[in-house]
Structure 1
Amino acid sequence: MAAAIAAAEPLVSYQIDGDAIRQSLTGKAGSAEQGYAIASNRADGGCVLCHQLPGIDAAMSGNLAPPLDGIGSRLSAGQIRLRLVDSSRLNPQTIMPSYYRTEGLRQVVQPYQGKPILMVQQIEDVIAYLLTLK
């Protein structure tokens, strides 16, 4: 998760529509290959800390959250986007971090205060990867 700490990229505004952020944060498609690299890396996206990902040894994956296989057939890009940007909008009791929201968070460690965990292109890349998991 250390990848975005030093980023100075200005935050992009987004609009929540029901259970989704329908518009891309970048205006362009993400890279599924880059998304896999982020999601499967325990230090960057950290998805594998809590979720099991297809193709990754279960012993190297967490089991605190649902497995992500099939997520691309269950959720739209916009629904996945909201879950990555700020999953607490859907479930205030979630333990999943807000990967992009920076305001109104509690107990944020110093290097992350006021900074997103992932930048917008990284979020779009993770979405592109998760959409391949049918």
Structure 2
Amino acid sequence: MNNALGGAVLAVLSATAAHAEAVKPTEVQFNDGAVEASLTSQAGDAAAGRAVFSNRKQGNCLACHVNSDMPEESFHGEVAPPIDGVAGRWSEAELRGIVTNSKMMFEGTIMPAFYVDSGYERPLDEFAGTSILTAQQVEDVVAYLLTLKD
């Protein structure tokens, strides 16, 4: 009986791990720059996305974007459009596409592709072959951006 229970638990854990696996950066499907399907099987967390957005060592979105939702943060950039009201301008799929790889939506943009793992040069070898954000962080940032309505 104990072996049967252990086997059942292992099967559930294996199924959960397989289900929770993120879409690999090279397998993301774009449709006119938008990404319809979630990159993970887990919903985005807006609070975690806000933290990534403001983190100068992760998203560093404030380096380029003004965001009035973050008055506690200093030195908002002004080289990119303001983030205020972004949820009214773009759909969830479009926001996911922009955060994943903005170059698929905006030709010639200087915005980094946050979820690609090849085709670029990283200044530090230890980061070669990795994306700037994880799939879940992309979903979290998208969840946060969806809270920014006019």
The two structures have a TM-score, normalised by structure 2, of 0.76
Structure 1: give runs of 5+ residues left out of the alignment.
1-8
Distance 1:22 1:77 in 2: 8
* Residues 52-91 of structure 1: pairs in structure 2 closer than 5 A: 52-57=66-71, 59-91=74-106
Distance 2:48 2:94 in 1: 20
1:125 aligns with 2:136: no
Distance 1:39 1:59 in 2: 13
2:24 corresponds in structure 1 to 11
Contact 1:32 1:132 in 2 (8 A): yes
Contact 2:63 2:77 in 1 (8 A): yes
The two structures have a TM-score, normalised by structure 1, of 0.84
Distance 2:128 2:43 in 1: 28
Distance 1:112 1:90 in 2: 25
> SS of 1:83's equivalent?
helix
1:44 corresponds in structure 2 to 58
Structure 1 segments of 4 or more deviating over 6 A? none
1:30 corresponds in structure 2 to 44
Q: CA RMSD in A?
A: 1.8
* Number of equivalences: 125
Which structure would you say has the larger RCO, counting Cα contacts within 8 Å and 6 or more residues apart?
1
Q: Whose radius of gyration is greater, 1 or 2?
A: 2
Report deviation, 1:59: 4.6
Structure 2: give runs of 5+ residues left out of the alignment.
1-21
Q: Pick the structure with more helix per residue.
A: 2
> SS of 1:60's equivalent?
coil
2:9 corresponds in structure 1 to none
Contact 1:40 1:53 in 2 (8 A): no
